[in-house]
A = this chain, B = another copy of it.
Amino acid sequence: MSDRKEQILDVAEELLQTRSFSAFSYQDVSDRIGISKATIHHHFPSKDDLSLALVTRHHMSLVSALETITKEHSDSWKQLEAYIQLVSQIMQSGHKICLTGSLQAEFATISNSTKQELANLCTCIHAWLTRLLIEGRKQQVMTFPGNPEDQASLIQAALQGALQQARAHGPKQFTTVVRQIKAILKTS
């Protein structure tokens, strides 16, 4: 993908995670880059195209990041810590929330293809967390009730919600939820 396209997606992603999809415009993007609205439309004709590209790129980027984590840490706890660090950085860089939460909140207003890609992205995260929990349980370093899929769903939902709660109650709210997730995996 061209540098310009990447640059547009960078800015659009930032706006999506700070202001929401409906609440940012082509004008916002063009202003921040210093190009015209028409140029954005040249690269992404409609806002539906833009949303789809945002989800698709984020999906690929995340797959890459998760693969890196899996390769760099054989220990399940280290992997979880690294993932949490990834999510934590979302909040730390300007009170952002995760892309999935932002778009799910406006699910009724996005195109069908974007909905489908968003679902794929969520499935991807869930599968990775599930695999991590299966490993952690197998290595007997993580304990939790029920099956790994369900525990993965809980962690995924909790981290997403915690990023949003942090906007109303500050970053401490997020670290609190993280601490509790870890405590459960240690003691339950």
- A: residues with CB less than 8 A from B are 18-20, 22-23, 95, 97, 100-102, 104-109, 115, 118-119, 122-123, 144-146, 149-151, 153-154, 156-162, 164-165, 167-169, 173, 176-177, 179-181, 183-184, 186-188
| B101 pairs with A145, CB closer than 8 A | no
Q: Which residue of B106, B123, B168 is within 8 Å of A100 (Cβ)?
A: B168
Q: Are B180 and A151 in contact (CB under 8 A)?
A: yes
**A138: min CB distance to chain B, Å:** 19
Which residue of chain B has its CB nearest to the CB of A94?
Answer: B108
Nearest B-chain residue to A167, judged by Cβ: B107
A97 to B55, CA, bound (A): 21
A–B complex contacts, Cβ < 8 Å, 16 sampled: A19-B106, A19-B109, A22-B23, A23-B106, A95-B107, A97-B104, A100-B165, A105-B106, A145-B183, A145-B186, A145-B188, A153-B165, A153-B176, A154-B180, A157-B160, A159-B161
- On whether the beta carbons of B179 and A150 are closer than 8 Å, the reply is yes
A108: which B residues are within 8 A, CB to CB? 18-19, 23, 95
- Chain B residues within 8 Å of A119, by CB: 168-169
